[in-house]
Amino acid sequence: EKNVNMKVMLIFDYLFSNPYINVVKGKKLLNTDNYTVSKRTILKLVELGVLKKHRYWKNTYIAEEINKIIKDV
């Protein structure tokens, strides 16, 4: 549980610099070659309502609320 939370927080923190993410970028951020670890971490953020699948870009997720804040600043 603690390890999962750390992974979620790493990706969550990244989203403030770039509100778009895919599994490949997640692997780099988490310093892993494991696709499943990255995918599960991203899906946890989807479950929490932070991310949703991008409407047009396949396999990309967006943090819409963070994106709105970034655009308004």
pLDDT at 54: 95
User: Pairing state of beta strands 52-53 and 60-62?
Assistant: antiparallel
Q: Per-residue pLDDT tens for 14-64?
A: 999 999 999 999 999 999 999 999 999 999 999 999 999 999 998 999 999
Backbone CA torsion sign across 54, 20, 66, 47? positive
As a whole number of angstroms, the distance between CA 18 and CA 39 comes to 18
pTM exceeding 0.85: yes
